[in-house]
A and B are shown apart, each in its own frame.
Chain A
C-alpha cells in the first residue's frame, strides 16, 4: 500500500534562510509525487509534481523538489524563504495517472521568523 511520511511536524525558518522539507514515500511502482501548500482558510494549491524525466523539478513560488528513487524521497526546497511562505505543506503520492487517488502525508507546518 502507498504511504507518505513527513517526519517534521513543525519547522521554523528565519526569513531569507533556505528551507528543506522532507518527504519519504512507500510505493512499489513508479510513483507520481506532488507537493501541495495549504494556507489557513484556503484549499490546497499545487507547488510542483513529478511524473517522470528530470529528477529535479521546478515549481511555483521559487520552490523545487528532487526525486531520489534510491532513498524513496521527494524533498522540497527553497533557497530563500519569505514570510508569506508560512503555511502547511503536504507531500502526496498518486497511484497512477489514470485514477490518481492521492495519498497524503500528515503535513509540515512552516513558521517563518523575522
Chain B
C-alpha cells in the first residue's frame, strides 16, 4: 500500500474563486471519506462514498461544496465561491472492510485570502 495521497498539499486562493482537491485512496479501498479540520479542532465529517455512490453528506457541506468519485477510485472535492470561513485542512480517508480502520491522507491545507 502506498497510502492515501492528496493533492495539492497547500492551496492559497482569493475569496470568490473555485478550488478543487483530489484524493487517491489506497487501492481496493471502496470506502472513502472527507473530513474538514479547522485550527484547534478535531476533524469533522463531511461526506462518505462507498464505491462511486455518495451515501451521506454532513450539514457542513453547503451547496457550494460538491464531491464526486466517478469511477469508485479517486475522489474530488470542489468548493465554489470560496469564503474565508472555508480556510481549513481537508482530510481524506479510505478503508476496505467494515472492521478496518480509516487510513488518512496528509490533507490539503486551504487558505482563503
Which A residues lie at the B interface, using CB under 8 A?
A: 4, 34, 36, 41-46, 49, 51, 90, 92, 97-107
Contacts and interface: CB of A to CB of B under 8 A. Distances in A.
Contact of A102 (B99, B102, B105): B102
User: Which among A43, A99, A100, A104 has the greatest number of chain B C-beta atoms within 10 A?
Assistant: A43
Given A97-B99, A99-B56, A102-B35, 9 more contacts: A42-B106, A44-B93, A49-B101, A92-B42, A100-B95, A101-B33, A102-B45, A104-B44, A107-B40
Interface in B32-59: 33, 35, 40-45, 48, 55-56
Contacts of A4: 42
B45 A43 contact: no
A5 B26 CA distance: 30
Interface residues of B, number: 25
Nearest to B95: A100
B104 A44 contact: yes
Interface of B: 4, 31, 33, 35, 40-45, 48, 55-56, 91, 93, 95, 98-99, 101-107
A86 to B, nearest CB: 17
A58 B28 CA distance: 27
Nearest to B45: A101
Q: Which 4 A-B pairs have the closest CB atoms?
A: A104-B42, A43-B104, A44-B104, A97-B98
A107 B42 contact: yes
B102 to A, nearest CB: 7
B99 A101 contact: no
Contacts of B104: 36, 43-45
Contacts of B99: 51, 97
13 contacts: A41-B106, A43-B91, A44-B93, A45-B104, A46-B102, A49-B101, A90-B43, A97-B98, A99-B55, A101-B33, A102-B43, A104-B42, A104-B43
